């Protein structure tokens, strides 16, 4: 028997006045899966997350989260979900331990002292327990926020751009922590703008201005975009960029140091144009794999802003 997905929603729609910010979104997330949620600012990612965890009621659509109906059992869903917002939302003038004691009280955890002590130890916060939250670096604030989200032992963790403003080392440690917990069965849905983070997810879902436009593994999404990527290299890439902009077959031109990434869907036209420009500018042409960032930019460019 196939187990029920941790998240299974169909046709989720949310409107504010005449603006539809989430439009007919359907997706499944398996238990123990880390699912990435990508999309530009204002695309509906946060609203969709809030619909799924019972913080908002959809105007249309149905779904089940952790085996419970999102329309009728929102309160029960909330108790089994850990939700980490993109903005640090704990009390800056309380210590780490005091913040966790407060959260334990909100969830009615008993004995609170044991839950707090176990969580401090689990997240490596014991030696800092008396430090004020407001004095923590971005990485330690992130660790405290995660501790507050998982102390009540949720089955689903929703992370809304959790590593914004955090240094690369802290980001890597955070993701190691998330993967370890997913291996133990915790389901994770994370929204992010970082392509390297999206690549750490088991599957990704790309939402653009309320519409879900791509789903699957990173390899699936890149393959489905059917893009060709070429690279020009040399001192004259600024001139090459001018010649390539708007030329036949060219849909993206991006500088990366002394190289130029040239992307398009029509492989034949793209190569013909790029070969011509390479000859005119004395730059070297080579093939390249299409990146997730190339796909991200392509999907953004093909979508219409529903809030305009």
**pLDDT tens digits, one per residue of 36-93:** 999 888 888 889 988 988 889 999 999 999 999 999 998 899 899 999 988 888 999 9
Alpha-carbon distance 104 to 49, whole Å?
Answer: 23
Give the pLDDT score at 109: 94
pTM: 0.89
Neighbour-count burial for 165-192, b at 16+ CB within 10 Å, e otherwise? ebeeebbebbbebbeebbeeebbbbbbb
Question: CA distances (Å), 269 to each of 105, 147, 232, 277, in order?
Answer: 63, 52, 16, 12
Residues 122, 243, single domain; the answer is: no
Domain total in the chain: 2
pLDDT tens-digit series, residues 211-248: 999 999 999 999 999 999 999 999 999 999 999 999 99
Question: Is residue 34 one of the residues assigned to a domain?
Answer: yes
For 7, the token pair is 């998240």
33 and 144 belong to one structural domain: yes
Q: Are 254 and 260 in contact (CB under 8 A)?
A: yes
Task: Name the CA dihedral angle for 89, 110, 176, 197, rounded to a multiple of 10 degrees.
Answer: -40
Q: What is the reported pLDDT for 304?
A: 56
Question: 255-267 pLDDT, tens per residue?
Answer: 988 899 999 999 9
Q: SS3 for 19? A: strand
Q: Edge-to-edge, what's the strand order for the sheet holding 252-256?
A: 252-256, 259-264, 228-233, 284-288
Query: For residue range 90-146, what is the model confidence (pLDDT) as tens digits?
Result: 999 999 999 999 999 999 999 999 999 999 999 999 999 999 999 998 889 999 999
- Asked whether the bond before 111 is cis by omega within 30 degrees of 0, the reply is yes
φ/ψ of 22, rounded to 5, equals -130, 120
Q: What is the pLDDT of residue 102?
A: 96
Chosen domain end from 222, 239, 262: 222
Q: Which domain holds residue 264?
A: 228-289
Residue with the bigger pLDDT between 10 and 258: it is: 10
Instruction: Pick the more confident residue, 41 or 26.
Output: 26
Distance between CA atoms of residues 157 and 33, nearest Å: 11
Shared-domain flag, residues 218 and 232: no
Helix (H) or strand (E) holding 128, with range, is none
Residue 257 lies in a domain: yes
């Amino acid at each position: 028997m196939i187990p029920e997905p941790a998240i299974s929603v169909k046709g989720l729609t949310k409107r504010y006045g005449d603006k539809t910010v989430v439009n007919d979104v359907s997706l499944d997330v398996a238990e123990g899966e880390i699912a990435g949620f990508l999309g530009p600012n204002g695309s509906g990612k946060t609203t969709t997350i809030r619909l799924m965890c019972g913080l908002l009621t959809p105007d249309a659509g149905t779904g089940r989260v952790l085996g419970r109906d999102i329309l009728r059992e929102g309160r029960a869903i909330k108790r089994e979900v850990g939700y980490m917002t993109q903005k640090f939302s704990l009390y800056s003038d309380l210590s780490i331990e005091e913040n966790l004691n407060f959260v334990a009280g909100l969830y009615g955890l008993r004995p609170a002292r044991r839950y707090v002590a176990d969580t401090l130890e689990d997240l490596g916060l014991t030696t800092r327990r008396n430090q004020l939250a407001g004095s923590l670096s971005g990485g330690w604030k992130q660790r405290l926020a995660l501790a507050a989200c998982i102390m009540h032992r949720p089955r689903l963790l929703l992370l809304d751009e959790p590593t914004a403003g955090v240094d690369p080392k802290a980001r890597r440690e955070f993701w190691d922590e998330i993967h370890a917990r997913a291996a133990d069965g915790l389901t994770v849905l994370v929204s992010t703008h970082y392509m390297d983070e999206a690549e750490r997810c088991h599957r990704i879902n790309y939402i653009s201005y309320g519409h879900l436009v791509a789903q699957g593994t990173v390899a699936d999404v890149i393959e489905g975009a059917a893009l060709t990527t070429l690279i020009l290299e040399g001192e004259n890439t600024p001139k090459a960029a001018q010649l390539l902009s708007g030329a036949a077959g060219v849909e993206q031109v991006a500088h990366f140091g002394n190289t130029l990434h040239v992307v398009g869907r029509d492989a034949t036209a793209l190569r013909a144009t790029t070969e011509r420009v390479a000859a005119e500018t004395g730059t070297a042409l080579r093939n390249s794999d299409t990146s997730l960032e190339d796909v991200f930019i392509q999907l953004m460019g093909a979508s219409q802003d529903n809030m305009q």
